[in-house]
DNA sequence: TCCTCCTGATTGGTATACCAGTATGGTATC
DNA sequence: GATACCATACTGGTATACCAATCAGGAGGA
């Protein structure tokens, strides 16, 4: 038997432009569909990271079609990719935006410490003097930018640069994954001027240890920075916890 | 206009069983398609890891259909998943079975050392006495099995167990990824009885350090084991290099 | 009033038609 | 004989029809 819907939409199929889904013609309630659309995966990722798609929210492939102006096949592909990044999860029922899990954040912090201590140790061995001077400069650049843009990308840029200087792509990729999973906490956390100030000093301490090619010192500075950062995060989350729960986001686990 | 092929295959469509592709009826030249088929991803993964799909080999989604008795959609999904594991890669042209890259193996070894030293350090802190006794027992079990099955899964089972005892799922997952990327080298490597014997002793050293809850000793034993293993691998690869190239597999990088 | 069963809607999973871009081979021309 | 060009046969990317399973809601009975 020939597809009945195929016949029904035959006219529309004949006239529609190349690879545009029928629904895209009227993206009335579109969320991220308004922009020129770089690529679907990036837009969906952005929607998750910006909390436009809330942690714990159920997603259906068909429901996402009109929102993102694409058909199920690419949406499904994007979901699978996001799943491999831990931003979305699949249960027998369907898809869910990964909840923010405080236990996971703790485990993640521990993992991150392992990665970053190794990263700075290798960086002291391998990076050129120019590279390390560049790191010190980067600290200043990002710190001045931080007053402007609220310090959003501040920390991660610095840490990404260190990872690159380690010369080990697996370390860099793993850290990238950690930063991705950590990203959404920035929206839940209150960042005071003084906490930014302290983070800046900690970055400087790391940069200095790197310049003097002191692996032990660099590892220590990194550990201190990461632990202080984690503590600031947890304090902030605990303070906001009641309000966060009320916002409809799923936040699981103990904040110890 | 209605799909012409749709009409052409209408009869076949009407009679075919639920979710079986038409081509599956005659999987003449099937490779992995013969078995009852657990799930497609697992079979394709197995085909890559067993070198049934050779390193560097070009893959086309349509070409894989008859081999695995599935249609493009699930094959594509499996390829994307394998891509995220580093077993398959996507260039502008299409899909390729990931070549075995000796440079990558070196970077991977370094990464692994970072992971496993952290793993045993955490295991000395967290694992129960029973767990650690179990590790010592596992060494013996796997060593006796190694004489039987050529020691195929020997090393990885031990290391996986350690990862689990670290109590950090990210460390365990990352190590899993490393072991996956490393897996295919076992087919290129000659494993002598004495090398297995040495690996056994190294495993025992690790287990002993764990039982005495000696983090520094455990880290040292792990580093020694991993470096010795890596050296055995590189020696074996260098010795076989010419023969390996002739086998049609792509093997890239310097074996230093 | 509560429980049960049935029906419709919704889910992900799959097969496949079509598209645009690209490589490849043969042919015709110089 | 060499080279340029064109047709054909691929490639992955996309849209969509269909399937089975499962969930939700309502109607009917106890």
Q: Which among A10, A110, A168 has CB closest to B1?
A: A10
pLDDT in tens, B102-122: 999 999 999 999 999 999 999
pLDDT in tens, B189-239: 887 888 888 999 999 999 999 999 999 999 999 999 999 999 999 888 888
Q: What is the pLDDT of residue A9?
A: 36
| A125 in the same domain as A71 | no
A6–B107 C-beta distance less than 8 A = no
Q: What is the pLDDT of residue B141?
A: 82
Distance, first Cα to last Cα, chain A: 61
* Higher-confidence position of A88 and B154: A88
Give me the residue label for tokens 């400069």. Answer: A137
User: In this structure, is residue A14 part of a structural domain?
Assistant: yes
Structural domain harbouring B202: 102-243
Question: Using the CA of A72, which nucleotide's C1' is the nearest one?
Answer: D15
B59 vs B49: CA distance, rounded Å: 15
User: In this structure, is residue A205 part of a structural domain?
Assistant: yes
The phi and psi torsions of A242 (rounded to 5 degrees) equal: -60, -45
pLDDT in tens, B74-88: 999 999 999 999 999
The answer to whether residue B66 scores a pLDDT higher than 90 is yes
Q: Please identify, among A43, A65, A97, the residue that sits at the C-terminal boundary of a domain.
A: A97
User: In this structure, is residue A2 part of a structural domain?
Assistant: no
Q: What is the pLDDT of residue A73?
A: 98
CA A28, A32, A36, A38 torsion: positive or negative?
Answer: negative
User: In this structure, is residue A83 part of a structural domain?
Assistant: yes
CATH number of the domain enclosing B155: 1.20.120.530
Alpha-carbon distances, residue B234 vs A88, A247, B46, B185, B231 (angstroms): 39, 55, 24, 10, 5
A138 vs A159: CA distance, rounded Å: 11
Reported as type and span, the H/E element at residue B77 is helix B72-84
| A221 in the same domain as A191 | yes
B171–A111 C-beta distance less than 8 A = yes
Distance, first Cα to last Cα, chain B: 61
Q: Residues 9-38 of chain A: which lie with beta carbon within 7 Å of strand D?
A: 9, 12-13, 16, 19-24
**Confidence label for B3 from pLDDT (cuts 50, 70 and 90):** very low
Tally of domains in chain A: 2
Considering only CA atoms, name the residue closest to the C1' of nucleotide C23.
B93
> What mean pLDDT value characterizes chain B?
83
User: In this structure, is residue B67 part of a structural domain?
Assistant: yes
- Out of A236-245, B1-10, B35-44, B151-160, the most confident range is B35-44
CATH number of the domain enclosing B49: 1.10.10.10
- Collect the ranges in chain A with pLDDT lower than 50: 1-35, 148, 150-152
Q: What is the pLDDT of residue B10?
A: 34
Chain A residue whose CA is closest to B121: A114
CA B229, B232, B235, B239 torsion: positive or negative?
Answer: negative
* Interface probe with B: pick from A61, A112, A114, A172, most Cβ of B within 10 Å: A114
* Higher-confidence position of A235 and B20: A235
Q: What is the pLDDT of residue A146?
A: 54
User: In this structure, is residue B224 part of a structural domain?
Assistant: yes
Structure tokens given for B213:
């809850």
């Amino acid at each position: 038997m020939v597809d009945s819907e195929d016949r029904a939409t035959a006219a529309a199929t004949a006239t529609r432009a190349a690879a545009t889904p029928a629904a895209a013609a009227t993206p009335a309630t579109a969320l991220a569909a308004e922009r020129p659309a770089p690529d679907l995966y990036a837009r969906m990722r952005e929607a998750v990271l910006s909390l436009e798609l809330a942690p714990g929210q159920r997603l259906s492939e068909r429901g996402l079609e009109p929102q993102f102006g694409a058909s199920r096949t690419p949406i499904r592909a994007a979901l699978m990719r996001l799943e491999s990044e831990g931003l979305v999860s699949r249960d027998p029922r369907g898809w869910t935006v990964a909840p923010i899990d405080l236990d996971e954040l703790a485990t993640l912090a521990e993992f991150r410490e392992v990665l970053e201590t190794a990263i700075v140790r290798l960086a002291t061995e391998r990076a050129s003097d120019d590279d390390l001077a560049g790191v010190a400069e980067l600290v200043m650049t990002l710190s001045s930018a931080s007053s402007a843009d609220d310090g959003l990308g501040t920390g991660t840029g610095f840490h990404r640069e260190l990872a690159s200087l380690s010369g080990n792509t697996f370390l860099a990729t793993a850290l990238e994954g950690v930063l991705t999973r950590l990203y959404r906490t920035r929206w839940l956390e209150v960042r005071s001027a003084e906490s930014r100030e302290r983070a800046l000093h900690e970055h400087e301490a790391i940069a200095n240890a790197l310049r003097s090619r002191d692996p032990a010192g660099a590892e220590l500075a990194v550990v201190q920075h990461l632990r202080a950062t984690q503590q600031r995060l947890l304090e902030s989350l605990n303070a906001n916890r009641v309000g966060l729960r009320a916002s409809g986001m799923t936040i699981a686990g103990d904040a110890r």
